[in-house]
Structure 1
Amino acid sequence: MKNDRSGKAAILSESDYAKLRRNFKTLKYKLLLDLAWYTGERWGALVQLRVSDVYLPNGMPRDVITFRAATRKKRKDGSADTRQVPVHQTLFENLRSYAPGNSPWLFPNRDGDGSVTWRNVYAILMKAVEEAGLTAKGISTHSTRRTFITKLHNNGVSIATIKKITGHRDLKSVEGYIEIEPNQVRGAIATL
């Protein structure tokens, strides 16, 4: 749902993220939200993570998460790139407290013979959004990606570096994710 957002998913505040996380019922889905928050990857790729993409054979989290090209959004020409994202310290601790089961999938379906689906996690997210009282905000699975990119930008990270982190091919694509608040515009003018 994207309310009055010009077709764009809402940016989440730290408070929104905390409310959503509290309303996810299981550690499995809390971790999914954490991965979205700290990597900026699309949920379609997140649900296809394998345990080996995130954990070492000894069960410790890797210091870099690998999103395989086969799981990532394809370009118009049908190609995609593998993306690796360094693990934030908070995410590392959350990964340490999660115990993947015997399935090769980090987020296995109930039968354990595949991963959960995007539709399944979308429904779980929307339920958490509703229970957190955030329905009117316009949150979708893409909100975490837009928030990740906007936060990096607001923290002074160059668009070229953000492009490298997110795996975008061009700067214009990255710019479309960044939300500029009116107070940022006023602040910029005030510096003249």
Structure 2
Amino acid sequence: MKQAKTLTEKELKQVLTYISLHRHAPRNRAMLLLTHWAGMRVGEVAALRIGDVLNADNSIKSEIRLTPEQTKGRHARTVFIGQRLRKELASYVATLKKPDPDRPLFATQKKAGFTANTMCQYFHWLYKEVGITGASSHSGRRTFITNLANKGVGVRVLMSLAGHRNISTTQAYIDVNDEMQRVAVDLV
């Protein structure tokens, strides 16, 4: 099976622009950026509750603690949320009428929480609408890991951030590109 496309910064901006021009923009932007800026799986994003990201004082947590039920491998893990993503999540949460900690963070138009499947279908549709071939619901995660690898983050740290249990799994996510190779040969 072919791996999901890793998006360039320009392609991510295209997707975010498309989202901004359509209904539910704050919600859809936050869902997408959790995959691109935190490396979360779509199933993990769909499983989030408002209380997973919101502190008692209504500020955004710097870490999301996923329970085994919220993860693919049924292993609890911590997702670290950077400053940019905390601002995005704060903007989104501000649009919610009553942020009940037990409610799904991302609700559909019918007020129910997204399932992993419906969110996966949304991302597939979104990338298709923008015209990005080969992108899927896993593209954000691959882009996150590849971008950090490009910036010199070690594979053990990447493995931990991704919630992988084997280093070989993480290595398969890293998309080697021409820029990485140029930087590497310049190190000699």
**TM beyond 0.5:** yes
Given candidates 114, 127, 132, the residue that maps to 2:130 is 132
Structure 1 alignment gaps of length 5 or more: 1-5, 75-79
Q: Secondary structure at the match of 2:156?
A: helix
1:91 and 1:85 map into 2 onto residues whose CA distance is: 12
Given candidates 162, 169, 174, the residue that maps to 1:173 is 169
- The alpha-carbon deviation at position 95 of structure 1 amounts to 1.3
Given candidates 11, 15, 21, the residue that maps to 1:16 is 11
2:29 and 2:184 map into 1 onto residues whose CA distance is: 37
Does residue 86 (structure 1) correspond to residue 80 (structure 2)? The answer is yes
Does residue 146 (structure 1) correspond to residue 145 (structure 2)? The answer is no
- The alpha-carbon deviation at position 53 of structure 1 amounts to 0.7
- 1:44-79 deviation per Cα after TM superposition (whole angstroms, max 9, x unaligned): 1101101111011222111112222211112xxxxx
Q: Which moved more, 1:169-178 or 1:93-102?
A: 93-102
Q: CA contact under 8 A between 1:83 and 1:166: conserved in structure 2?
A: no
The 3 A distance-change label for structure 1 pair 101 and 45 is farther
- The alpha-carbon deviation at position 170 of structure 1 amounts to 1.5
Does residue 28 (structure 1) correspond to residue 27 (structure 2)? The answer is yes
More helix by share: 2
**Number of aligned residue pairs:** 179
Q: CA contact under 8 A between 1:39 and 1:85: conserved in structure 2?
A: yes
Q: Which moved more, 1:179-188 or 1:97-106?
A: 179-188
Q: CA contact under 8 A between 1:20 and 1:132: conserved in structure 2?
A: yes
The 3 A distance-change label for structure 1 pair 186 and 13 is closer
- The alpha-carbon deviation at position 96 of structure 1 amounts to 1.5
- 1:70-121 deviation per Cα after TM superposition (whole angstroms, max 9, x unaligned): 11112xxxxx222212211111111111233445110123443x42122322
Q: CA contact under 8 A between 2:145 and 2:174: conserved in structure 1?
A: yes
The RMSD of aligned alpha carbons is 2.0
- The alpha-carbon deviation at position 162 of structure 1 amounts to 0.9
Q: Give the structure 2 partner of residue 62 of structure 1.
A: 61
The 3 A distance-change label for structure 1 pair 186 and 35 is closer
The alignment's TM-score, normalised by the length of structure 1, stands at 0.84
Identity %: 26
Q: Secondary structure at the match of 1:66?
A: strand
2:154 and 2:187 map into 1 onto residues whose CA distance is: 20
Q: Secondary structure at the match of 1:65?
A: strand
Q: CA contact under 8 A between 1:65 and 1:86: conserved in structure 2?
A: yes
Q: Give the structure 1 partner of residue 40 of structure 2.
A: 41
Structure 2 alignment gaps of length 5 or more: none
Q: Give the structure 2 partner of residue 77 of structure 1.
A: none
The 3 A distance-change label for structure 1 pair 185 and 14 is closer
1:156 and 1:182 map into 2 onto residues whose CA distance is: 15
